[in-house]
Structure 1
Amino acid sequence: MGGIGKSTLAKKIFNDRRIEDEFQLKIWVCVPKEVKGEEVLKCVIRGAGGEPGYTNKRSELVPILERHVNGKKFFLVLDDVWAESRAVWDDLLRAPMSSGAHGSRLLVTSRDERVANGMRATKSHRVEKLSDEDGWSLLIKQVLPNGIESEIEDHREIGMQIVEKCDGLPLAIKSIGGVLCTKGNLRENWQAILRSNVWSMDGLPGDVHRAIYLSYEDLPPPLKQCFIFCSLFPEDFEFNKTDLIYRWLAEGFLHDKEDFWELGNEYYTELLQRNILEDTNKYHNQVECKMHDLLWSFTCQLGKGENCSGGQTVSRFEGSMKVRRLSIKGTEVNIEVIKKEKGLRTLIYFEPEIALDDLCKSFSNLRIIDLGSSHSNLSSLPDSLCDLVHLRYLDISNTELVKIPNSIGNLRNLVYFCCYGCQELSHVPPSIGNLRELRYLNFRNTKVEAIPMELSNLEKLSHLFGFVPYKNSLEGFSSLDGLESLSKLIDLLLEGLDRVSDRTIAERANLRSKNLLLVLNLEYTSLSSEEQLSQTDEKKISTEDVLNELCPPRFVKVVVIDGYFGRRLPNWLNLGAVALPNLRDIGILECACFEVLPMLGQLPNLHRLKIRGAYSVERVGEEFMQGDTKSKDPIVHTISGSARPAFPKLNELIFEEMPNWKEWHWNKGQPAMPKLKELCIEACPELRSLPEGLLLYATSLEFLQIIHADKLITVENIPSIKDIRVLRNPNLARISNLPNISNISIDHCPNLKAVMNPKALQTMRLCDYKMKLLPDYLTTTMSRKLIIRCDEELLLNIANQGESDSEWHKFKHISKVKVSTKDESLHATYQKTPFSFTTNVNANRVQMT
């Protein structure tokens, strides 16, 4: 049954941190009903970190897959396998995936029990429908993000009737919840939904539930267009928010062209809120989404006529429909038949081989050409493409493009031009300055190192990525002052900033005045720590001066500084709420020369902070932790009422690769980080202890990860922690007084002697392939479940449960225990009640009693 939650459950397992720890590779593949073996192989190869190239031959793809999984322990999910496609494992993937390490796992979701039986599943789990009470709880979560039922307690009777009509299907309930959350909490609105005629409709296509159809019918007309447009992409396709909004703009779905970004964000947010699109949860700011397979099938039905997509569907197309949008996936396509459709406006290609010149000559009304997912071997743009006067969206990313022709300037209506990942591209013609309608331009991951000064003509540009400023503005190329006229920038990524040494050029960029700018990435040439430190004082000073002039506007939300080798971070980071009151996310990455962190604690809306590669920082002290003592806002005052705490909204804090950091000073007189939930410290080998202030004031901290902190001795007295991971900390001796801990992972911490007071502990994971004996602290561990990874010698000792020198008595009080070697070739399991002890260790090696 579709929409019952199979994929949701599988995704929770897939994203679980324990899976991350257990497997070297995690691969997710959505298996279409009409499966194409070559496409599945390509998807698995990419999931394994490989690149299939341009081949479509199974005989060439299989060896590529074998190489990428060879000797690696993988977790493979085949999602939504149909009876028609169940041979995808036995006939296609089983052989090449058998080169993976022992202990690899396959998880399959399907609506058909015959799939599980046919694939000889060792364990199966049936996802049941929700009870009415659980359905009501889910509905509340959709309608009220804070989940406070009292706000709609008068609607419970109506709500329960709506839940009953949804038949216990989570997707149906979420769809109706998405409708209700746009209606407010008026009782008559709920009654209108309950009385809708849709509930009695018959003849809906496929597996579409009436609740889903009602959700669609409730959409405003522009949102219906945006929804149906998504049918052009494959099932389980992951949409980038920015690209999707620009596609909508190119199609004419965003009628306010001047304020298109605000309107596009409203549409995107509403489709998420209505559960029509769902966040992939890969990023923290909802910049990537996908569509449930049932909704995707539904939108494919709705789009029939104007939209044509897929491989076999296109191959059967005979030109009888007025197709406006076409996506091609698969090689079985009759191009000659397609060419009859003179009204075609959108062309999306998912295949590497494309006769672009021929297609452009045939379709003079094209608005969108999207080759971004084709990985095409396209090396040049045909003249016919540059004659498409209606073209608005051109994505040629990840192709073999070498040169952009001068005739590109003919595309006067182009709003989106993406060359991301065209690694052979080095030249941009001056005619690009003729693209005065352009809003999006991307040269990221190319060889382009100079952009003509005509860039300054693009005054409507909103998104600019991969701009490498020229050293000056005297040779016909654009430097930082070329940004001066680009007042509508929203998202800006600058590369190679160290090429500019004149601060007056940076000053003329006038970033401070660009009030629409929300995201600013400032990147320098990638250098090692040693290379950064060896830069001359003169170069370091000029680098500092230039960055000081690149102060973003007060409305900016994200700032990333990467590879900067100045001795001080920019002054504007020290101005807190005065200069950057809306800043939510900061990344300071691979900056080896600065020694003192700025006063970031004064930023009132900072949610996430990541500092990586701060080679010269030895101490994090009061200047970093200082809050805004001048604040008069009573909402943000501390309990004492004197001033708000430092980092009042910080949720996530990450310190990585700081080899000389020794001390984190945060005294008990400085309240800070009251909303911090996640703290990660990695590769900070000189750090001796966690600060006292963290223990006192970070009362919301739930997740703590510490990796390779060689001199850290204790982790204790953090009552809010629920999940802790300590990996490769050779001198860690004690973990104690964590009363609310539920999960502990201990990986190669050989001197850990005490793990005390974990009263709420559910799961402990212990991994050390060098330990000869299990640690004594296990005898007092009250975990419900224990997972041990060790070498073969220790496992054999444990398996000898009847021998006097065995180790099993150290964990016999724990409910469930699993012990295995690294590759799981040997393993043993123990259960306290009812007692069982099993192992695959050969009987002639182990005497069992």
Structure 2
Amino acid sequence: MVVSAPAQGRRRRGGGRGSGVEGRRQKGGEFGCGGGSEPHGWRHCAYSPNACMRRKRAPGRRNLGAEMPFLSVTIYFVSAVVRMVNDESQVDMLKDIGMGIIAKCDGLPLAVKVMGGVMLQKNRRRSDWEAVLKDSEWSVSPMPEELNNAVYLSYHDLDPPLKPCFLYFSLLPKIQLFNVHQIVGMWISEGIIHGNSDDLETIGHEYYDELILRSLIEPNTGYVDHVFCSMHDVVRSFAQYVARDEALVAGYGSQTDVIGKLNSQEFVRLSLETQESESDALEWMSLQAQISLRTLISVGNIKMKPGDSLEIFSSLRTLFVSHADSDQLAESLVKLKHLRYLSLSYTSISKLPEDIHKMKFLQYIEIAECKRLVKLPSSIGKLQDLRFLSLGMTSIKSVPRGFGGLTSLRILGGFPVHMDGSWCSLEELGPLSKLIELHIRGLENVSSSTIARKANLGGKVHLRNLVLICTSKHGNNGQLFKEQQKIEDVFDELCPPPSLDTLIINGYFGRLLPRWMTSTAVVPLRSLRILMLKYLPCCIELPDALYQLPFLEVLYIIKAPAIKRVGPEFMQPHRHEHLSAPESLGSACAFEVFECSSLQIINNMPKLQKLKIIGCPKLKVLEGVPALQRLELKDHDMQMLPGYLQDVNPKQLLIDCGISLLTCLAAGKFSPEWDKFSHIRQVKAYANDADNNIQRKWYVLYTRNPFSLKTNISCSAINQGKVMQGATAASSNFVFLIRWVSLFY
């Protein structure tokens, strides 16, 4: 599930049997894929002592990152490990060793961060920390001079099951975002995750979390729960170096001689990026010598000729093709007898093989955003090992009867609701008891609540993430009322289990939300952590039970124009259009409201840390948010800052507004808006250049202490209260402005 958010989700740290990290050792060597059915693995990279040489501190090593001041880098390291040391005496005992480790990192921020991840795994004993400081890997390793010792030491410290997962991540093309489900799916398909079949996804997520904890991969903070991560170039270079004998990674702009390497060496894993504009794009025939491939990842087009197929790659376990013309490959897919992972998202494919059931080892199928794909093969229900199926944003309107035979499914995305006489595709969901994530679309097509009950959502005890989507009905008032009654009855029967972690409702056009949301007595969603209510054109109130969710962390209300009250205490006519939360909603630490045109008041959310307000012009009151750390306002039409800013004191304020208001803010103390934002520690304000379609071209950056006010709006524009056509951030004007303004503070 991909949820964009300004919030950080709750993460689990590995440890013990539950983590899947300790105690799970792979067979067949450090990089082995183990398992009797997996004849080939990543060979153990045996480093000969004779090949090792003491590294000299070459000047070239300094280009791994800009050096930070010693104090800053010390704070950076301490912030990474302070969570594990609460006793002040222990901090003093370990301080000198920590400073020594920082010194060995040569002041490189990435190296310090990675070492912080290593130290998080260590006991709080001085001897354990000294062992890291004195580790010979600081000075002796088989790495080339341009690679970083700290990364090597961190890699060396990984448990054996984590090493191939880390190396595999480095193969993913940088141009494409890969979510955690895709990554874990590839790990499982490659056989580098071991455990009980029911636990593989859980173990994979724990490995993923462990790599984050060690700072070997970095979360994209625009999404909750670290759904997307990236790998720093230095870390990526190291991992690709380690895997160089078996894996080739080539992207556009790369200096790698791809054709030469493909002709001279056999690889087990191949990762390619191409651009459509490249006249010398790679030809499919150039891959034909790679008959030992287990993984083929390709983003972008590869030139194909009639007769080109996948048949030569009989050993493939993982095939990921994206943003390409791939319809020609469809017929030969069934030749890949050992394929476990098939992803063809954002491609031109129009059909899957009718005899897809012969691909009996398939575990993952991803065909999202394949607009030409209109139906699934009738035999797909026979894929007994299938664990993941993503159908979102395709033209598929129904699933074949017998789809319920996919009883191994854990994740099902984009499931379409379709009625055929008395039969409804929702019935096929009934037997799928192992689902942990489910997305259902087209719920407006369900004819009755009795049919909805057959989906048996409440019986899916493993379900953690649920997305319910329907399309709003329009028509005369009488017809709309009937449709509203029906959709309310249908949603009442789509009652999830109490274990639900994330709930998204999108496009619901009922007036009242489902019973199981309005009363925790019906279904106590006490585990709910993330709630998104999106595009609710007719919903008139939020449920009272919302304030009885003790673990709610992130709340979104997006385009709900009819909401006028929340909770019984605001039923009085003079208190309508009031969004409030008693102490029990205080567990929510992130809240986003988007285009809620009737919203006037937000208050009493004592633990709220992050708040984003987009396009809510009637909001007048924001109070009772003492823990607020970050506030984001976005409204390009607002003429002045809202007055409620004087009633809050976040550490950070981010503003996206029109150029007129931004120019006013640039005047600093001489602006009529000054008193609204001057008390806030840090303010960043931006405006777009609409004429040239440049996002956030203009800016005002303010820091309270030490005082700083920076802008790229010219002095003349500030004096005139507007930006002159073609005004730019001439350095002389900029310096003069800052010096001129600073004289008055």
Mapped contact 1:647–1:673 kept (Cα < 8 A): yes
In structure 2, what is the equivalent of residue 824 of structure 1? 727
> Residue type matched to 2:109 in 1?
P
State the partner residue of 1:360. Answer: 310
**Aligned partner (choices 334, 341, 357) of residue 409 of structure 1:** 357
Query: Partner amino acid for 2:727?
Result: E
Residue 604 (structure 1) shift? 0.6
**Which residue of 2 is the match for residue 607 of structure 1?**
553
Taking structure 1 as reference, are residues 149 and 414 closer, same or farther at Cα in structure 2, changes over 3 Å only? same
- With 358-367 and 602-611 compared, the bigger mean Cα shift is at 358-367
**Cα separation, 2, equivalents of 1:173 and 1:293:** 15
Aligned partners of 2:388 and 2:411 also within 8 Å: yes
* C-alpha distance in 2 between matches for 1:832 and 1:148: 46
Q: Check the 8 A contact 2:219/2:229 in 1, yes or no.
A: yes
What is residue 554 of structure 1 aligned with on the other side?
498
CA contact (8 A) 2:608 2:625 kept: no
What is the CA-CA distance between 1:466 and the residue it aligns to?
Answer: 0.9
1:217 CA displacement: 1.0
Task: Return the offset for 1:536.
Answer: 2.5
Alpha-carbon shift at residue 835 of structure 1 (Å): 5.6
> Structure 1 stretch 416-425 or stretch 823-832: which is displaced more?
823-832
CA contact 1:345–1:368 (8 Å) conserved in 2: yes
Q: Report the CA distance shift for 1:537/1:224 in structure 2 as closer, same or farther (over 3 A).
A: same
Looking at structure 1, the residues matched to 412 and 130 of structure 2 have their Cα atoms a distance apart, in angstroms, of 48
Match among 370, 382, 393 for residue 434 of structure 1: 382
Q: Does the 8 Å CA contact 1:453/1:473 hold for their aligned counterparts?
A: no
Q: Deviations over 1:84-115 (max 9, x none)?
A: xxxxxxxxxxxxxxxxxxxxxxxxxxx999x9
8 Å CA contact retained: 1:763, 1:783: no
The change in CA–CA distance for 1:711 and 1:568 in structure 2 (over 3 A counts) is farther
**Is 1:223 paired with 2:173?**
no
Q: CA 1:697–1:655 in structure 2 vs 1: closer, same or farther (change >3 Å)? A: closer
Which residue of 1 is the match for residue 709 of structure 2?
785
Deviation (angstroms), 1:202: 4.7
Specify the code of the residue in structure 2 equivalent to 1:383. Answer: E
Whichever residue aligns with residue 601 of structure 1, its letter is Y
Question: Percent identical across equivalent pairs?
Answer: 31
Residue aligning to 2:125: 186
SS of aligned partner of 2:226 = coil
> Cα distance, 1:549 vs. partner?
1.1
2:324 aligns to what SS in structure 1? Answer: coil
Paired with 1:249 and 1:407, the residues of 2 have a C-alpha distance of 24
Taking a change above 3 Å as real, the CA distance of residues 644 and 538 of structure 1, as seen in their structure-2 partners, is closer
CA distance, structure 2, for counterparts of residue 711 and residue 832 of structure 1: 22
Aligned-partner Cα distance in 2 for 1:337–1:754: 64
In 1, distance between residues paired with 2:263 and 2:602?
72
TM-score, normalised by the number of residues in structure 2 = 0.77
1:328 Cα shift? 3.1
Aligned to 1:141, the other structure's residue is in SS state helix
Instruction: Tell me the distance in 1 between the aligned counterparts of 2:107 and 2:602.
Output: 53
Relative distance call for 1:366 and 1:353 in structure 2 (3 A) is: same
1:304 aligned onto 2:244: yes
Asked whether 1:721 is paired with 2:641, we answer no
Deviation by residue 1:358-380 (Cα, 9 ceiling, x = unmatched): 452212111111102xx112225
The whole-number CA distance in structure 2 between the counterparts of 1:685 and 1:160 is 51
Which AA in structure 2 matches 1:136? Answer: T
Q: Tell me by how many angstroms 1:712 deviates.
A: 9.9
Contact 1:605 1:650 in 2 (8 A): yes
Residue type of the alignment partner of 2:515: N
Who is 2:79 aligned against?
141
TM-fit CA distance, 1:522: 0.7
CA 1:830–1:493: 2 relative to 1, 3 Å: same
Deviation for aligned residue 1:237: 5.4
Match of 1:384 among 327, 332, 337: 332
Q: Does 1:328 align with 2:272?
A: yes
| Conserved? CA contact 2:372–2:395, under 8 Å | yes
The residue that corresponds to 1:453 in the other structure is: 401
Change (3 A) 1:675 1:470: same
Deviations 1:335-386 (A, max 9, x none): 65643443221112233135496452212111111102xx112225443321
Q: CA offset at residue 762 of structure 1?
A: 6.1
Preserved CA contact (<8 Å) 1:371 1:397:
yes
What is the letter of the counterpart of residue 348 of structure 1? I
- Residue number among 105, 128, 147 corresponding to 1:208 in the alignment: 147
Return closer, same or farther for 1:409/1:218 CA change in 2, 3 Å cut-off. Answer: same
Q: AA paired with 2:317? A: R
Give per-residue Cα distances to partners, 1:221-260, cap 9 Å, x unaligned: 2211112223323357543111000000110011123311
> How many angstroms apart in 2 are the aligned matches of 1:744 and 1:490?
51
**Kept in 2: contact 1:380–1:404 (CA 8 A):** no
Using the size of structure 1 for normalisation, the TM-score is 0.68
Structure 1 residue 296 displacement after superposition: 1.0
Amino acid at match of 2:709: K
Deviates more, 1:304-313 or 1:512-521: 304-313
In structure 1, how many angstroms separate the alpha carbons of the residues matched to 2:308 and 2:125?
A: 57
CA RMSD, Structure 1 to Structure 2 (Å) = 4.1
Counterpart of 2:495, as a letter, is C
Q: Give 1:317's aligned residue.
A: 261
2:588 aligned counterpart, secondary structure: coil
Supply the distance in 2 between the matched residues of 1:766 and 1:386 (Cα, whole angstroms): 53
Separation in 1, partners of 2:233, 2:327: 35
- The alignment partner of 1:258 has SS state of helix
Of 681, 691, 706, the residue aligned with 2:613 is 681
Q: Secondary structure of the equivalent of 2:158?
A: coil
Counterpart AA for 2:675 = V
Distance 1:266 1:342 in 2: 33
SS of 2:408's partner is: coil
SS in 1 for 2:203: helix
- Which residue matches 2:533? 588
2: distance between equivalents of 1:710 and 1:235?
40
The whole-number CA distance in structure 1 between the counterparts of 2:597 and 2:369 is 33
Counterpart residue number, 2:137 = 198
Q: Which stretch shifts more, 381-390 or 703-712?
A: 703-712
Please say if 1:350 is aligned against 2:299.
Answer: yes
What is the CA–CA distance in structure 1 between the aligned matches of 2:570 and 2:657, rounded to whole Å? 28
1:686–1:709 contact (8 Å) kept in structure 2: no
Per-residue deviation, 1:216: 0.9
Structure 1: give runs of 5+ residues left out of the alignment.
1-14, 17-110, 116-125, 626-642, 667-671, 733-742, 770-777, 799-805, 808-818, 838-849
Q: Aligned pair count?
A: 644
Distance 1:405 1:236, change over 3 A: closer
Matching residue's letter, 1:795: S
Alignment of 1:19-38 (within 5 A): none
Q: CA deviation at 1:197?
A: 1.9
Structure 1 SS opposite 2:644: strand
Show the counterpart of 2:10: none
Cα distance in 1 for partners of 2:144, 2:582 equals 56
Deviation at residue 146 of structure 1 after TM alignment: 7.5
Contact 1:205/1:298 (CA < 8 Å) preserved in 2? Answer: no
Q: Is the 8 A contact 2:148 2:234 kept in 1?
A: no
Deviation at 1:140, TM superposition (A): 2.0
1:769-848 alignment, distance < 5 Å: 784-785=708-709, 787=711, 795=716, 798=719, 820-821=723-724, 823-825=726-728, 828-829=733-734, 831=736
1:370 aligns with 2:320: yes
Aligned to 1:758: 678
* 2:100 matches 1:161: yes
**1:130–1:168 CA contact under 8 A, matched in 2:** yes
Which of these residues, 247, 250, 260, is aligned with residue 200 of structure 2?
260
Are the counterparts in 2 of residues 706 and 727 from structure 1 also a CA contact under 8 Å?
Answer: yes
C-alpha change, 1:298 and 1:766, in structure 2 (3 Å) is closer
Distance 1:317 1:822, change over 3 A: same
Alpha-carbon distance change, 377 to 207 in structure 1, aligned in 2, over 3 angstroms: same
- Secondary structure of the 1:824 match is coil
Contact 2:74 2:99 in 1 (8 A): yes
* SS of equivalent to 2:547: helix
**Matches of 1:602 and 1:714 in 2, distance apart?**
31
Change (3 A) 1:548 1:709: farther
Aligned to 1:471: 419
Q: Secondary structure at the match of 2:106?
A: coil
SS in 2 for 1:647: helix
